[in-house]
Amino acid sequence: MDIISVNGITKTYRQYRRFPGLIGSVRSLLTRQYTEETAVRDISFSIREGEAVGYLGPNGAGKSTMIKMMTGILVPTAGEMHILGSVPHEARKMNAQHIGVVFGQRSQLWWDLPVMDSFELHKYIYKISAPTYQNNLKFCMELLSLRDFIHKPVRQLSLGQRMRVEIAMALLHDPKLLFLDEPTIGLDVMAKDQIRQFLRTVNRDKKVTILLTTHDMKDLEEICPRMIVVNKGTLVYDGSVLKLRDRLGDERRVVIDFREEPGTIEFPGLTLLQEEGLRKTYLFARGESTVFELVSRIASQYPVEDASIESEDIESLIRRYYQQLALDDMRNRDIG
């Protein structure tokens, strides 16, 4: 079942021109001159129950705008969108009961209250039953290690602690669907890791559908098998990380330690990247032969001590993808 369906969604922001001064403000009101900016352009996708999807793109690509429309905060300029069967901005109250939202840059906590009080208020506002609340609280307290600071006021927490609390709070009412906008932004490695592991558990064990925006590729690798990539408001890729690797040509790094200098090695698809004495790093673009065949061939002809193979990380994969898109764009313009 599709829990999210987005159909030709466009969002255009209209910014009214302001003239300075008192006379200016009267003039602003009278002329109402504005500029328009399309943040999201004709985007369609659907997400099934239980999926974990990464919504990826550079700054300004329109990720937050999409999340705000999906949570009913913003109204689309065009297109149709259904979340859990209803139109988000028309069913905000109903949606709130089944959706959890975390904004990395904006807190939903009461700044001066101890964490526990924020949780209790949340329980009251969302009318969460005592057993559900207790269960979820216990689950989050343990897996997010909240115990040490649960009685501190929110303003005294570190960013990493606060994010853990935000995520816990978003899950207290047992939502079916969790939206997170840049949940790991600005966090240290340890805090990021804990949050990633937690989200993976929530998705696998509690079957909560997750959509998160990020520009951190590790978030994807660890939480989301599927990614949707946007660029300048447009959807440019929707599929698995694996499929993108296939499409761009699977590139591997092969690191070989030689016993003695091998000289130049010629092999289709092989490029020397880096040399540190007898350790040489090659880039291998898979063609007719597999990387395994490559390494065996080299080992049979040269004095190889050791070899290791690394997959290209998602970051460099996506970078290559953007480069290819820019190139295609240029070619199309030349033709057109």
Ligand X SMILES: Nc1ncnc2c1ncn2[C@@H]1O[C@H](COP(=O)(O)OP(=O)(O)O)[C@@H](O)[C@H]1O
Residues in touch with Mg ion (CB under 5 A): 63-64
Residue number, 57 or 100, with CB nearest to ligand X = 57
Q: Does 261 bind ligand X (CB under 6 A)?
A: no
Choose the contact partner of 80 out of Mg ion, ligand X, none; CB within 5 to 8 A by kind: none
- The partner residues of 153 in beta bridges, in order of sequence, read 114
Rounded-to-integer distance, Cα 6 and Cα 91, Å:
16
Q: Does 275 bind ligand X (CB under 6 A)?
A: no
Residue number, 62 or 88, with CB nearest to ligand X = 62
- What DSSP element (H or E) covers 190? helix 189-205
Q: Which of 8, 37, 158, 259: binder of ligand X (CB under 6 A)? A: 37
Number of residues located near ligand X, criterion CB under 6 A: 12
Contact 70, 64 (CB under 8 A): no
Residue number, 40 or 172, with CB nearest to ligand X = 40
Q: Which of 3, 43, 53, 62: binder of ligand X (CB under 6 A)? A: 62
Structure tokens, 160: 């990493």
Choose the contact partner of 183 out of ligand X, Mg ion, none; CB within 5 to 8 A by kind: none
Residue number, 230 or 254, with CB nearest to ligand X = 230
Rounded-to-integer distance, Cα 259 and Cα 237, Å:
44
Shortest distance, position 232 Cβ to Mg ion, whole Å: 14
Output the CA angle 192-196-198, nearest 5 degrees.
120
Q: Who contacts 121 (Cβ-Cβ below 8 Å, separation ≥6)?
A: 110, 113
Q: Does 214 bind ligand X (CB under 6 A)?
A: no
Q: Does 57 bind ligand X (CB under 6 A)?
A: yes
Pairing of strands 226-231, 52-56: parallel
Q: Closest Cα to residue 78, out of 4, 5, 11, 6?
A: 11
Query: In Å, how far from its chain's centre is CA 34?
Result: 32
Choose the contact partner of 186 out of Mg ion, ligand X, none; CB within 5 to 8 A by kind: none
Q: Closest Cα to residue 10, out of 48, 47, 35, 37?
A: 37
Shortest distance, position 176 Cβ to Mg ion, whole Å: 24
Choose the contact partner of 65 out of Mg ion, ligand X, none; CB within 5 to 8 A by kind: ligand X
In the complex, the residues that contact ligand X under the rule CB under 6 A are 13, 15, 37, 39, 57, 59-65
